[in-house]
Amino acid sequence: MNIIVVGLSHHSAPVEIREKVAFSPNDMQRPLRQVFDLPDIGEAMIVSTCNRVEIYATSRDPDAGIAGLRRFMADFHQLSQDDLQPHLYDYQGEEAIRHVFRVSASLDSMVIGEPQILGQIKTAYGYAAEFKTVGLILNRFLHKAFSVAKRVRTETNIAGNAVSVSFAAVELARKIFGSLDNKTVLLIGAGEMCELAAKHFINNGVGRVLVTNRTFSRAERLAAEFAGRAIPFEEFPEHLHLADIVLTSTGAPTCILDRSRVEKVLKIRKNKPMFFIDIAVPRDIEPQVNGVPNVYLYDVDDLQGVVQANLKERHKEAKKAEEIIDLEIGQFHAWMGTLQVKPTIVSLRRRFEEIRRGEVEKTLRNLKHVDKKQEQAIEALTSAIINKILHPAISALKEKQNGEGDNFVDAVRTLFALEGTSGETQFKPLAVDDDDLETDQPTPDQSQGAK
Amino acid sequence: MNILLYKITLLVYLAATVLFLVDVITRRVKLGTIARWVLGGGFLLHCVTLGARYFATGHVPVVNLHESLSFFAWAVIGIFFLFDFKYRLDILGAFSCPLALALMILGAATTAPTPTVNPALDSWWFPVHVALAFLGYAVFALSFVAAVMYLLQERMLKSKSFSGLYYRLPSLEILDNINYRCLTIGFPLMTMGIISGAVWANSAWGGYWRWDPKETWALITWFLYAALLHGRLTIGWRGRRAAIFAIIGFLCLMFTFFGVNMMLSDLHSFNALEGR
């Protein structure tokens, strides 16, 4: 059984194509059932976000499975094959595992480290579980992907630094002040971006907001929104010393704050640090203000620079994340290997036991005057013969489960005509644990949701 | 025996330093925790080393340069753990550990024969004076470390060009806070060290203050730190200026310790202590 992935993303398709193949979250049952009913597909789930549309599935014949999913993507959305196929990518086996791990860990996202993708995959998995199109393999695979994503998030700093201008401002403030509790923000001007940045500051614990604007009523409205205090524009220099963080976005044609004023303010504040964020263009604050000790001035370009530096740092962290994924792929692959071997061993034992039991019953019917003790001796003899015959074959299968397992499984299944002989579904034996391989206990059916 | 223990301690500190540095450079989770455990082990071993030295020589092991460096390094690590308990900053370990390691390496490079203390100096004020002085040195060493980190972080924030270190260093507020706390702990320790030294001098040489180079430099250093404390409390010195002062103060302290002892001959030189 192989894991396969067919899909497209911001890497391979423009938004005009992505929006055409997106699946509606309100109608997931229909496409999921259709994929699930495709020949060569065992289990399936569909991930559909604004940046990617992907189908994760299992298949005994990966090439046929991929071809089927490619056709389905075009047919379902009534697109021509020629239009869609160039934008689709597909993966199978180890590459598919790697791809899904990378997507879950947000290494394949437009903004590396963004946290939304994991939630979106969890939602997609939720639909598939609800409509019972996932079984043992995808269940385990997706849970593994979630744990890999969590490991990446905790063991690397991939999501540690802000990649939006507003968040970058908050992060810089934290680098200066540590905690933002009990800090005061002064908004000079009431532009949209200033308002957004102020909201981020408030959400991150800033204690007090002062607002000033040329139109006082607007300052009052904004102050009310933030439970702050409005200050008439002419009076704001007198209140400047109260502010730890100053956000400016006025439409003034020249600077409204210069170095000498800020130096005076710092004296009143006994050199307590101040952070100025000048979002206005043209700028509201004289650049020389940055030269005042304990004062930090950032304009829009500076903040963009911080965002770029943070993105660079995230890319460095991504390399560590790739190493984690390499390790996890190895472990998951080993588990996949055991999936091929374990059911075959159980089927093999069951097949031999069926033959033994049939022959023993036939023999006992023909023999007369066989007492209980002799019957037990026949049972023990035949069981011992079968165990001795099976022992080398089972040992070889176990040994090869992580290597040439597939070849051995195919050989054993063909030689002993195991396919379909046990009357089990293809996933049924997958839930056995090691104890089942040593005994002949019936296997519990845990194939719920899978074919 | 105590020399072997010393060398093992040095190796453990080296391992902890490497772990802290790798942790800070690569930011591998858990490495910082492992580094702390290794350093903790090294610190305990160092306690045993100092104890063994004490029993081997019969005096508090701060008499010659080797012993003093060992005690200084021990105090630096001890003070690091006190601050680490509150701040949990791997980077503080990455800066403090190499300092302690350097002191240990210097100590290993100096000869360590068992010194005989000048009988005239054999007073219990001597270990009190030296212990207080070295604890003060260690606290100011940490303040120096925090000040260097402050200047690096401040420079990146001002110039708006960020290296990998920017992401590893804590906020300016925390670093300034560490600096201030070190000053409020280190200054009384240093003051008490000087006072106990004066009392010891009086019992040893019959005078509280002799204006020998070490005493003069100790007073200069004390005034520097006193000015910094005054500036912080009354004028509102903080941040960059306070960090620069802390660095100058520590350099002055190091000159008082190394420079005066090694370059100038006076009552505080180790030869004098050993009665030679």
**pLDDT (tens digit per residue) in A269-301:** 988 999 999 988 888 899 999 999 999 999 988
Q: Write down the pLDDT at residue B276.
A: 41
Cα(A278)–Cα(A257) distance, rounded to whole angstroms?
10
Query: Is A51 marked as binding a ligand?
Result: yes
Residue B129, min C-alpha distance to chain A (Å): 37
Q: How many CB atoms lie within 10 A of CB A25?
A: 12
Tell me if A160 and B167 make a contact (CB, 8 A cut-off).
yes
Query: Which one of B157, B233, B241, B245 makes the best mutation probe of the A interface by having the most chain A beta carbons within 10 Å?
Result: B157
CB of B58 within 8 Å of a chain A CB? The answer is: no
Query: Is A49 marked as binding a ligand?
Result: yes
Q: Are residues B213 and B89 in the same domain?
A: no
Q: Are residues A78 and A134 in the same domain?
A: yes
Tell me if B241 and A293 make a contact (CB, 8 A cut-off).
yes
Tell me if A313 and B167 make a contact (CB, 8 A cut-off).
yes
Which of A15, A50, A381, A396 is flagged as catalytic? A50
Q: What are phi and psi for residue A268, nearest 5 degrees?
A: -60, -35
What are the residues whose beta carbons fall under 8 Å from the beta carbon of A333, sequence distance 6 or more? A94, A97, A402
Q: Which domain holds residue A415?
A: 335-420
Tell me if B235 and A172 make a contact (CB, 8 A cut-off).
no
Q: Are residues B188 and B242 in the same domain?
A: yes
Query: Is A109 marked as binding a ligand?
Result: yes
Cα(A158)–Cα(B18) distance, rounded to whole angstroms?
24
Residue B201, min C-alpha distance to chain A (Å): 42
Q: Are residues A385 and A415 in the same domain?
A: yes
Cα(B7)–Cα(B42) distance, rounded to whole angstroms?
11
Query: Is A291 marked as binding a ligand?
Result: no
Q: Are residues A79 and A155 in the same domain?
A: yes
Return the closest-CA partner of residue A419 out of A340, A344, A357: A344
> Long-range contacts: A299-307, Cβ < 8 Å, 24+?
A300/A165, A302/B160, A303/A165, A303/A168, A303/A169, A303/A172, A303/A277, A304/A165, A305/B160, A306/A162, A306/A168, A306/A171, A306/A172, A306/B160, A306/B162, A307/A162, A307/A163, A307/A164, A307/A165, A307/A168
Which of A178, A296, A305 has its CB closest to that of B157? Answer: A296
Q: What are phi and psi for residue A209, nearest 5 degrees?
A: -125, 130
Q: Are residues A155 and A169 in the same domain?
A: no
What is the 8-class DSSP label of residue A257?
B
Contacts of A324 in chain B (CB under 8 A): none
SS3 A48: strand
Q: What is the pLDDT of residues A10-47, one digit of tens each?
A: 999 988 889 889 998 888 999 999 999 999 899 999 99
Q: Are residues A65 and A149 in the same domain?
A: yes
Q: Are residues A34 and A151 in the same domain?
A: yes
Residue A249, min C-alpha distance to chain B (Å): 21
Q: Write down the pLDDT at residue B270.
A: 56
CATH number at residue A219: 3.40.50.720
Q: What is the pLDDT of residues A362-386, one digit of tens each?
A: 888 888 778 888 889 999 999 999 9
- Tally the domains of chain A: 3
Cα(B63)–Cα(B257) distance, rounded to whole angstroms?
13
The predicted complex's ipTM stands at: 0.84
Report the residue of chain B nearest A175, measured CA to CA.
B171
Q: How many CB atoms lie within 10 A of CB A87?
A: 20
Report, as an integer, the average pLDDT of A59-85.
Answer: 92
Q: Are residues B96 and B127 in the same domain?
A: no
Q: Are residues A101 and A183 in the same domain?
A: no
The answer to whether A50 is a known catalytic residue is yes
Which of B26, B29, B157 has its CB closest to that of A175? Answer: B157
Query: Which one of B88, B156, B167 makes the best mutation probe of the A interface by having the most chain A beta carbons within 10 Å?
Result: B167
Which of B162, B173, B236 has its CB closest to that of A270? Answer: B236
Per residue of chain B (276 residues), give pLDDT as tens: 678 888 899 999 999 999 999 988 887 768 889 999 999 999 999 999 999 988 888 777 887 788 889 999 999 999 999 999 888 888 899 999 999 999 999 988 886 666 666 665 667 788 888 889 899 999 999 999 999 999 999 999 999 988 888 888 999 999 999 999 999 999 999 999 999 988 888 877 777 877 777 788 889 999 999 999 999 988 888 889 999 999 999 999 988 887 777 666 555 555 544 444
Please, which pLDDT band fits residue A338 given cuts at 50, 70 and 90?
Answer: confident
Q: Are residues B103 and B131 in the same domain?
A: no
Which of B161, B171, B238 has its CB closest to that of A177? Answer: B171
Final residue of a structural domain among B115, B145, B161 = B115
Listed in sequence order, the DSSP H helices in chain B are 2-26, 31-57, 65-87, 90-109, 125-159, 164-168, 172-205, 213-230, 239-254, 260-263, 270-273
Q: Are residues B134 and B110 in the same domain?
A: no
Q: Are residues B79 and B169 in the same domain?
A: no
Q: Are residues A377 and A246 in the same domain?
A: no
Which of B164, B174, B237 has its CB closest to that of A178? Answer: B174
Tell me if A161 and B171 make a contact (CB, 8 A cut-off).
no
Q: Are A332 and A97 in contact (CB under 8 A)?
A: yes
CA within 13 Å, CB half, B218: 26
Residue A430 has pLDDT above 50, yes or no: no
Q: What is the pLDDT of residues B62-105, one digit of tens each?
A: 877 888 899 999 999 999 999 998 888 888 999 999 999 999 99
Beta-carbon pairs below 8 A across chains A and B: 67
CB of B163 within 8 Å of a chain A CB? The answer is: no
Q: Are residues B93 and B198 in the same domain?
A: no
- Tally the domains of chain B: 2
Final residue of a structural domain among B115, B148, B166 = B115
Query: What value does the CA radius of gyration of chain A take, rounded to a whole number of Å?
Result: 33
Q: Are residues B244 and B188 in the same domain?
A: yes
User: Residue with structure tokens 């071997």?
Assistant: A341
Q: What is the pLDDT of residues A113-167, one digit of tens each?
A: 888 899 999 999 999 999 999 988 899 899 999 999 999 988 888 887 777 788 8
CATH number at residue A133: 3.30.460.30
